[in-house]
Copies of this chain bind each other. A is one copy, B any other.
């Protein structure tokens, strides 16, 4: 794809990451990204087209993160801790709002979220299950642990975003780590 298009998408992604999208018009996104709405239509076809690509960018980031984390022989506890530390770091945390904003649009069945809908649960399932298997859980239990761990991460992430109570949310995550560890050994 063309370089200018990529650069444009980068900038739009940054804009959306910072401000969200649901209350931003095409023109506002364009202005914030330093271009005209005409250009966004030209490159992405429509507002939804642009949002679909932005979502794609976010998915790609998540996949990269996942690949980064499960590499090598790290166990589930190490991976979880690194994942949580990453998600709640000051640079990444604000971007989590965007994740949930997209999530909600996906729940309403918006077409441009199709790819997101496919990946948001499934992409994490297999890698997590195999990590839990390695930690000693059998089939169904590993699956339940995977699902639960992901839910805890997202639920506590939401709490942290809303409340800002980092210490208390971290304490809850630590508690969960204890509970899970106890079950697996």
Enumerate chain A interface residues (CB-CB to B < 8 A): 19-20, 22-23, 97, 100-101, 103-104, 106-108, 117, 120-121, 140-141, 143-145, 147-148, 150-156, 158-159, 161-163, 165, 168-169, 171-176, 178-180, 182-183
A-B contacts, 18 listed (Cβ < 8 Å): A22-B22, A97-B108, A100-B103, A103-B162, A107-B162, A143-B171, A144-B174, A145-B175, A147-B156, A147-B159, A147-B168, A148-B173, A151-B152, A152-B155, A155-B156, A175-B183, A178-B183, A179-B180
Q: How many copies does the complex hold?
A: 2
Given contacts A103-B158, A103-B162, A162-B120, contact A151 B171 (CB under 8 A): no
Min CB–CB distance A55 → chain B (angstroms):
14
CA A152 to CA B159, docked complex, whole Å:
11
Q: Are A155 and B162 in contact (CB under 8 A)?
A: no
CA A163 to CA B151, docked complex, whole Å:
12
